[in-house]
């Protein structure tokens, strides 16, 4: 029989998918559970997959690759989607896609499958990545195809001896990995309602967070965090500890209206303590080590990368080009940032860098000032020269509006005025 490699989470959807792929497509199912920092029960998941009918279940620890090739480069880039979302789920999808393709090759499979619905971004990220890496593999998305309701699914599971989780179903749909947790659905779909406390798992309610602030000192080398409070740590331990410390202070909750790739506006709630802290600290260190021009241009690159990651275009030459720029920009982003965590807030309160561009002699208003005050006069003269010339030639003679404050008033007789225009 031909084989399909299925991304398997152990949940109801993908467990039902194992049976459904056998029945509807006549395929042998090889299940692959990818751990990106979200799977404490790998063995239980493996057992369940076999019991449901997979011919093999692989458990793949991808945490180190996730950190090295996805989390840290996105941190260096400053990639945050729509100024809020640190992209935890979006970053993990291309990695999972790559791992699926690797197992498909190993197993000689002709197809890969994933449990995404037809409404989200994740299906796009999986399908585009798989198609890019392995155009010959067939892609099957059972949940997108089968048209079963939740109740249908439970009935199907019961008929096929698939264990249905007995615990009270969470009112939310969640996804998590080392870089963050996303919470959707239920009451959260009402954008006017504040997210209830039971939506959060990683972060303390800021109202109940410690009354004393906590401090973290994060050491970076070329834009990569390597130490915490004076201790050298690998990425796994460092992100884990920052998640824990920041979560305790209620830091990392995000609530925003997000523009999905598939055209839907959705209310998204996240908790990403480590991502929020590390992005804050990293950006602060860049302020010490990058010039104004570098920072301005890098922000454009950051937005471009965030968008392409969100939109499922990870495996592209455009991304590689931008990533090269980011890597090069991090040459001197080495130093330490101290952040204060307090009742849901994270603020940088100290920063130092080996090759800092912050020059105390230039900055000071006190002793030891080396800035040439007299040079400012000539600089200002030339800086303002074009405006002075224009004002004298065009604006001062006859343009009465030029000397008034505020935007010029619309001409009431302007026939181009819109339907709301007053007569
Ligand atoms: N809105 C986020 C994104 O598109 C989170 C998606 C969460 N995925 C999920 N299957 N629950 O990246």
Model confidence band, residue 368 (pLDDT cutoffs 50, 70, 90): very high
pLDDT tens track for 298-328: 999 999 999 999 999 999 999 999 999 999 9
CB 179 within 8 A of CB 72: no
pLDDT at 161: 93
Among 152, 155, 173, 205, the active-site one is 173
Ligand 1 neighbour 173 (Cβ under 6 A): yes
Q: Whose CA is nearest to atom 10 of ligand 1?
A: 175
Query: For the chain, how big is the Rg over CA atoms in Å?
Result: 27
pLDDT at 399: 80
Active site (annotated) includes residue 93:
yes
- For 396, counting Cβ atoms within 10 Å of its Cβ (0-12 exposed, 13-18 middle, 19+ buried), the class is exposed
pLDDT at 137: 98
Domains of the chain, by residue range, sit at 3-159, 175-290+332-358
pLDDT at 359: 95
The rounded percent of the chain whose pLDDT value lies above 90 is 90
pLDDT tens track for 50-68: 999 999 999 999 999 999 9
Residue 419 has pLDDT above 70, yes or no: no
pLDDT at 257: 98
* CB proximity list for 4: less than 8 A, separation 6 or greater: 21, 25, 27, 28, 29, 30, 109, 110, 111, 112, 113, 138, 140
Among 9, 15, 93, 129, the active-site one is 93
- The CATH number of 175-290+332-358, from 3.90.1260.10, 3.60.21.10, 3.20.20.450, 3.40.50.970, is 3.90.1260.10
* CB proximity list for 314: less than 8 A, separation 6 or greater: 93, 94, 125, 129, 308
Ligand 1 neighbour 176 (Cβ under 6 A): no
pLDDT tens track for 14-49: 999 999 999 999 999 999 999 999 777 899 999 999
Q: Average pLDDT of the chain?
A: 95
The mean per-residue pLDDT over the stretch 416-423 comes to 51
| CATH level 2 (architecture), domain 3-159 | 3-Layer(aba) Sandwich (3.40)
pLDDT at 320: 98
Ligand 1 neighbour 112 (Cβ under 6 A): no
Expressed in angstroms and rounded, the spacing between residue 372 Cα and the centre of ligand 1 is: 53
Ligand 1 neighbour 121 (Cβ under 6 A): yes
How do strand 253-259 and strand 231-232 relate by DSSP bridges?
unpaired
Rounded to whole angstroms, the Cα distance separating 188 from 82 reads 19
pTM: 0.94
Model confidence band, residue 179 (pLDDT cutoffs 50, 70, 90): very high
Q: Whose CA is nearest to atom 9 of ligand 1?
A: 175
pLDDT at 423: 45
pLDDT tens track for 132-151: 999 999 999 999 999 999 89
Active site (annotated) includes residue 13:
yes
Residue 102 has pLDDT above 80, yes or no: yes
Ligand 1 neighbour 38 (Cβ under 6 A): no
CB 193 within 8 A of CB 187: yes
Expressed in angstroms, the distance from the first to the final Cα of the chain is 77
Output the 3-class SS for the chain: CCEEEEECCCCHHHHHHHHHHHHHHCCEEEEEEEECCCCCCHHHHHHHHHHHCCCEEEEEECHHHHHHHHHHHHHHHCCCECCCECCHHHHHHHHHHHHHHHHHHHHCCCEEECCCCCCCCHHHHHHHHHHHHCCCCEEECHHHHHCCCHHHHHHHHHHCCCCCCCCCCCCCEEEEECCEEEEECHHHHCCCCCCCHHHCCCCCCHHHCCCCCEEEEEEEECCEEEEECCEECCHHHHHHHHHHHHHHCCCCEEEEEEECCCCCEEEEEEECHHHHHHHHHHHHHHHHHCCHHHHHHHHHHHHHHHHHHHCCCCCCHHHHHHHHHHHHHCCCCCEEEEEEEECCEEEEEEEEECCCCCCHHHHCCCCCCCCCCCHHHHHHHHHHHHHHHHHHHHHCCCCHHHHCCCCCCCCCCCCCCCCCCCC
pLDDT at 416: 53
Q: Whose CA is nearest to atom 1 of ligand 1?
A: 268
pLDDT at 386: 98
pLDDT at 413: 62
Expressed in angstroms and rounded, the spacing between residue 312 Cα and the centre of ligand 1 is: 12
Rounded to whole angstroms, the Cα distance separating 81 from 215 reads 27
Active site (annotated) includes residue 173:
yes
Residue 418 has pLDDT above 60, yes or no: no
Active site (annotated) includes residue 74:
no
pLDDT tens track for 376-400: 999 999 999 999 999 999 999 988 7
């Amino acid at each position: 029989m031909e084989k399909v490699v299925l991304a398997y989470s152990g949940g109801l959807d993908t467990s039902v998918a194992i049976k459904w792929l056998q029945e509807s497509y006549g395929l042998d199912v090889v299940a692959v559970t990818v751990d990106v920092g979200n799977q404490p029960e790998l063995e239980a998941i493996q057992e369940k997959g076999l019991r449901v009918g997979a011919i093999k279940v692989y458990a793949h620890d991808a945490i180190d690759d996730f950190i090295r090739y996805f989390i840290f480069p996105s941190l260096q880039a400053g990639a945050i989607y729509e100024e809020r979302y640190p992209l935890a789920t979006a970053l993990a999808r291309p990695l999972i896609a790559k791992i699926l393709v690797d197992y498909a090759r190993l197993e000689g499979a002709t197809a890969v499958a994933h449990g995404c619905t037809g409404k989200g971004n994740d299906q796009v990220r999986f399908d585009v990545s798989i198609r890019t890496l392995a155009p010959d593999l067939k892609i099957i998305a059972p949940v997108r195809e089968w048209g079963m309701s939740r109740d249908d699914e439970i009935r199907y599971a019961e008929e096929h001896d698939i264990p249905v989780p007995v615990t009270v179903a969470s009112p939310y749909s969640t996804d998590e990995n080392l870089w963050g947790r996303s919470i959707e659905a239920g009451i959260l779909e009402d954008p006017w309602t504040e997210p209830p406390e039971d939506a959060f798992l990683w972060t303390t309610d800021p109202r109940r967070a410690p009354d004393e602030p906590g401090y973290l000192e994060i050491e970076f080398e070329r834009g990569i965090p390597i130490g915490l409070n004076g201790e050298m740590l690998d990425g796994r331990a460092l992100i884990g500890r920052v998640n824990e410390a920041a979560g305790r202070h209620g830091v990392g909750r995000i609530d925003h209206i997000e523009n999905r790739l598939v055209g839907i506006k959705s209310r998204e709630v996240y908790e990403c303590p480590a991502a929020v802290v590390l992005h804050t600290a990293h950006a602060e260190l860049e302020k010490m080590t990058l010039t104004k021009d570098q920072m301005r241009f890098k922000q454009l690159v950051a937005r471009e990368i965030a968008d392409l990651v969100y939109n499922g275009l990870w495996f592209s030459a455009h991304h590689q080009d931008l990533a090269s720029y980011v890597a090069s920009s991090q040459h001197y982003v080495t130093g330490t940032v101290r952040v204060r965590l307090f009742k849901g807030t994270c603020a940088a309160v100290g920063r130092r860098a080996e090759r800092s561009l912050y020059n105390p002699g230039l900055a000071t208003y006190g002793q030891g000032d080396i800035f040439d005050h007299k040079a400012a006069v000539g600089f200002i003269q030339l800086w303002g020269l074009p405006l002075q010339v224009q004002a004298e030639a065009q604006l001062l003679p006859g343009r009465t509006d030029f000397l008034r404050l505020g935007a010029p008033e619309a001409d009431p007789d302007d026939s181009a005025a819109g339907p709301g225009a007053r007569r």
